Amino acid sequence: MQWEVEALEPAELRRMVLTAVAPYIDRDVLARQIAREDEQRRALAAYLDGWDAAGGGAPT
């Protein structure tokens, strides 16, 4: 069977991919990685807030 991927609706392609990979995802590892990324985003946002407060904003 051959498919032209670009002919699929994006929602259908997403569903197919997620269905295909779901059995291989370690949900505990994924949850820890998402938590780590959230913490990194918060740390970066805090750093940038401090940078802006110190007058280090982007040049205009």
Phi, psi of 57 (to 5 degrees): -65, 170
Structure-token pair, residue 56: 């280090």
**Average pLDDT in the 40-50 region?**
94
Mean pLDDT, the chain, integer: 90
Q: In the structure encoding, which two tokens stand for residue 60, read together?
A: 């205009």
Q: Which sequence spans correspond to the domains of the chain? A: 26-52
Q: pTM for the whole thing? A: 0.60
How far apart CA 57 and CA 48 sit, in angstroms, is 9
Listing DSSP states for 1-30 in one string gives ----GGGS-HHHHHHHHHHHHGGG--HHHH
Query: Percent of the chain scored above 70 by pLDDT?
Result: 93
